[in-house]
Amino acid sequence: MRKSILAVLLAIALITPVFASEKKDMEVDLKFGYTLDTNVKLYLTDPDIVANPYTDSGATDKGVILATDFYYYVNSQVALGLGINYIFDSKANYGWSDEYGFTNIYFAVKPKMNLDSDILESLYFIGQIGYGFFRFNSDNITNPGTSNGLYWGMGLGVETDYDIFIELIHSFNYGSVDTKNNTNDMIYSTLVLNIGYKFKL
């Protein structure tokens, strides 16, 4: 699965400039994000953690995200690009001392619609799919390992005439915590408010 995702991302990275070569419009976005909501869903099967297999869910403390995207505009209304974000480690609030963090590399598509406004330039939708590198710390599990997995997100945003933008993105990370007895799967979701600035190239 890991090799397949990386192969798809590499293929997209090589093909994207070909589609964008006619227009030559590009931009780099820098973003600062704050998690408005988080959710962790655990599929526990390790007898060192629980006596019987079961599914549990909880949340983590609110956290910070830094991200950057590089876009090619296929035309004036559609941009394709690559991005990376860093979700800083945040502590679980479900009673255990677990901490979750991710670094995600993704392909992004951004179709947008121009607005007739003196302040707002456009409204856009955003889709992201890629690969997430999972970081996990815990005082309850001895020498835990992690397995990385799929990352995807979707949302919307608005761009202003001053190159400042605001986004709301709902994203999902898939991974697992590996112990000496078993592998426990995990889905981590976030609702993130991003504020950023775009540099036109």
Q: Is the pLDDT of residue 109 over 80?
A: yes
Instruction: Mention the CATH class of domain 27-69+83-200.
Output: mainly beta
89 neighbors 135 (Cβ within 8 angstroms): yes
HSE at residue 85, side-chain half, CA atoms within 13 A, is: 34
Quote the CA–CA distance of 124 and 100 in Å, as a whole number.
Answer: 30
pLDDT band with cut points at 50, 70 and 90 for residue 22: very low
**Domains of the chain, residue spans:** 27-69+83-200
Q: Is the pLDDT of residue 55 over 80?
A: no
Q: pLDDT for 145-164, tens place per residue?
A: 888 999 999 999 999 999 99
Q: pLDDT for 132-149, tens place per residue?
A: 999 998 877 667 788 899
184 neighbors 40 (Cβ within 8 angstroms): no
Q: pLDDT for 180-194, tens place per residue?
A: 777 888 999 999 999
Q: What pLDDT does 21 receive?
A: 46
80 neighbors 20 (Cβ within 8 angstroms): yes
Q: Can you spell out the DSSP letters for the chain? A: -HHHHHHHHHHHHHHHHHHHTTT--EEEEEEEEEEEEEEEEEEE--TTT-SS-EEEEE-B---EEEEEEEEEEEETTEEEEEEEEEEEEEEB-SSS--EEEEEEEEEEEEEEEE---SSEEEEEEEEEEEEEEEEEE-SSSSS-EEE-EEEEEEEEEEEETTSEEEEEEEEEEEEEEE-SS-EEEEEEEEEEEEEEEEEE-
Q: Is the pLDDT of residue 11 over 70?
A: no
Question: What's the rounded mean pLDDT across residues 20-26?
Answer: 61
Pick the more confident residue, 138 or 26: 26
Computed over every residue of the chain, the mean pLDDT equals: 85
Question: What's the rounded mean pLDDT across residues 33-53?
Answer: 80
Q: What pLDDT does 32 receive?
A: 98
